[in-house]
Amino acid sequence: MPKKDIGLGVVSVGFGAWILYYTAENIKKKSAFWPNIIGWGIIALGVVILAIGVFNFIKEKKANGGQAEKKAVDKKAELNKYLKVAAVVGLLVVFYFVFQYVSYILATVILMIGTSFILGYRNWKIMIPTALILSVLLYVTFTQVFHVHFPGPFY
């Protein structure tokens, strides 16, 4: 697991650096504020993940006396994790195309409920009101605070 964290940290730092480079080369300085914030945020989180991965790797190496202990990984559980990630990615792709034709609020509610369901959360009394409230709050924040105008009907 620590090796995966180290890899994810390195990739995150590289991706954040690419965002900053792309923003500097292709976007006007005035318009680049939010992409720069996102790039620096990804780099910061990547550094944290990398540091935790290195720390856990060193700790694991000391605990095993330098010998890498191979654990029997349940292949079915591992496959199930990848299928959940693929399902969430698929749901995000559907969200991208759907919210252009229906309201942002409705598409976001469906995304949040679908993601919760895929990840195993089944408390509908909490899930539905939370999805509704958060979707409306996100819509109001983006339209009123950040002045983002969404495509599609019902706005």
Sequence letter at residue 25: E
Handedness of CA 24, 96, 113, 106 (dihedral sign): positive
pLDDT tens, the chain, 155 aa long: 677 888 888 999 999 999 999 999 888 888 888 889 999 999 999 999 999 999 988 888 888 765 544 555 577 777 788 899 999 999 999 998 888 888 888 999 999 999 999 999 999 999 999 999 999 999 999 888 888 887 666 55
Flag whether the pTM goes above 0.75.
Answer: no
Cα distances (angstroms) measured from residue 60 to each of 46, 55, 86, 144:
21, 9, 30, 49
